[in-house]
Chains A and B, each alone.
Chain A
């Protein structure tokens, strides 16, 4: 008899337990969101920081009506929130499906208003680091609103934006645009170099001399030993310290497959003690750390390519102001 009552009590307990589980399922009927940062490496002014922001709610609960990102520092005008939701097809290709109108930037907010009846989407956000964020931290608040009135948000950051500058694909041509200014991150011809003599830190030259490895070189104006056949414009006297590297393929500069990034801290870590003021026999994928004569700037000059036929060299630069 006692066993019979025991079984009934046990049955009631199980019924209550399953009822509880069903009730728990009901609590999932809410708008949810998640976010990841897709870009790696330093957050350089002018480059994008990319995020993927996902939001969803059960179909029966409604649809998404808008998505918004609020940055603690307003992004550059090229900042945008993708109005397409991406999925990866069987070939591994990301395919975008339009779900809303193009994003609108208002102050530090970027908003996409949904135009499609959808209950799940993943939008990508591209924050172009503005000049105002140089050396500062930036935080992002992603949020989504559903037709049932629910709102969710997700905070990302803070992320520190770098102090360094970057310039890509500067072309040096022997005996023409061969005078390099680190302050301007540009190659000048002789006439412009004369007018900016104090800013010229390096001279580019190409000398295919038989029997020695000279070829493509960057030499300080002060070191005339390694400037054969170069008649310097008047006033060029800077001695720039240089430390050669090989295979330091910074991702931002090289744009190759290597996941290597030069960050602000790397510039201060380079030891220029007893460093020479010239770098001979540079090749594609080589580079050199440099420090200006006045110690104001340190930079990394990466050689993207060299072309013997045109006596030219293409370089990309990251530069850090020391003082």
Chain B
């Protein structure tokens, strides 16, 4: 068991398989599926014009047995686009750590 009470396994895989971004109404704010680059460890997500970037709920899907650091405990402020948020994925065996940077782009007004 690790410090979070989670079982430490033998799995070394360590990546994000899906990324979702929800508004305060719990509806998606993505204009399309987020682009996840597991090599560059980046997530690029374009959100609707007018999205309130200060109050968003990110959701990560991770490969089996991984965990995320820091934990997501509520709304996240993405409004500082010059300083994108970074989350670290930790493998099931807790030996591999990969930092993913989440880049948000707001859909421009036509």
Question: In the complex, what's the smallest C-beta–C-beta distance from B74 to chain A, in angstroms?
Answer: 10
Contacts of A210 in B (CB 8 A): 110
Q: Closest residue of chain B to A289, judged by CB? A: B24
User: Does B25 lie within 8 Å of A246, measured CB to CB?
Assistant: yes
Q: Closest residue of chain B to A219, judged by CB? A: B50
User: Does B49 lie within 8 Å of A213, measured CB to CB?
Assistant: yes
Contacts of B24 in A (CB 8 A): 243-245
User: How far, in whole Å, are A18 and B60 apart by their CA atoms in the complex?
Assistant: 75
Q: Closest residue of chain B to A286, judged by CB? A: B25
Question: In the complex, what's the smallest C-beta–C-beta distance from B76 to chain A, in angstroms?
Answer: 11
Contacts of A281 in B (CB 8 A): 48, 50
Interface residues of B (CB under 8 A from A): 23-27, 48-50, 52, 54-55, 77, 107, 109-110
Given contacts A214-B49, A286-B25, 18 further A-B contacts (CB under 8 A): A209-B110, A212-B48, A212-B109, A212-B110, A213-B48, A213-B49, A213-B50, A214-B50, A243-B55, A244-B24, A245-B25, A246-B25, A274-B54, A276-B52, A276-B54, A278-B50, A281-B48, A281-B50
Query: B50's contact among A226, A243, A246, A274, by CB below 8 Å, is which?
Result: A226
Q: Within 8 Å of chain B (Cβ to Cβ): is A275?
A: yes
Kindly supply a per-residue 1/0 record for chain A positions 95-119, scoring 1 wherever the CB is within 8 Å of any chain B CB and 0 otherwise: 0000000000000000000000000
Q: Size range of the interface on A? A: 10 to 19
User: How far, in whole Å, are A286 and B25 apart by their CA atoms in the complex?
Assistant: 9
A-B contact count (CB 8 A): 41
Q: Mind listing 23 A-B residue pairs with CB under 8 Å?
A: A209-B109, A209-B110, A211-B110, A212-B49, A212-B107, A212-B110, A213-B48, A213-B50, A214-B50, A226-B50, A243-B24, A244-B24, A245-B25, A246-B25, A246-B27, A274-B54, A274-B55, A274-B77, A275-B52, A276-B55, A278-B50, A280-B49, A286-B25
Contacts of B25 in A (CB 8 A): 244-246, 286
Interface residues of A (CB under 8 A from B): 209-214, 226, 243-246, 274-276, 278, 280-281, 286
Question: In the complex, what's the smallest C-beta–C-beta distance from A205 to chain B, in angstroms?
Answer: 12
Query: A246's contact among B26, B48, B54, B55, by CB below 8 Å, is which?
Result: B26
Contacts of B50 in A (CB 8 A): 212-214, 226, 278, 280-281
User: How far, in whole Å, are A213 and B77 apart by their CA atoms in the complex?
Assistant: 22
Contacts of B49 in A (CB 8 A): 212-214, 280
Contacts of A280 in B (CB 8 A): 49-50
User: How far, in whole Å, are A175 and B77 apart by their CA atoms in the complex?
Assistant: 34
Question: In the complex, what's the smallest C-beta–C-beta distance from A262 to chain B, in angstroms?
Answer: 15
Contacts of B109 in A (CB 8 A): 209, 212
Contacts of A245 in B (CB 8 A): 24-25
User: How far, in whole Å, are A210 and B109 apart by their CA atoms in the complex?
Assistant: 10
Question: In the complex, what's the smallest C-beta–C-beta distance from A284 to chain B, in angstroms?
Answer: 14
Looking at B52, B77, B107, the one whose CB has the most chain A CB atoms below 10 A away is B52
User: Does B23 lie within 8 Å of A244, measured CB to CB?
Assistant: yes
Question: In the complex, what's the smallest C-beta–C-beta distance from B48 to chain A, in angstroms?
Answer: 5
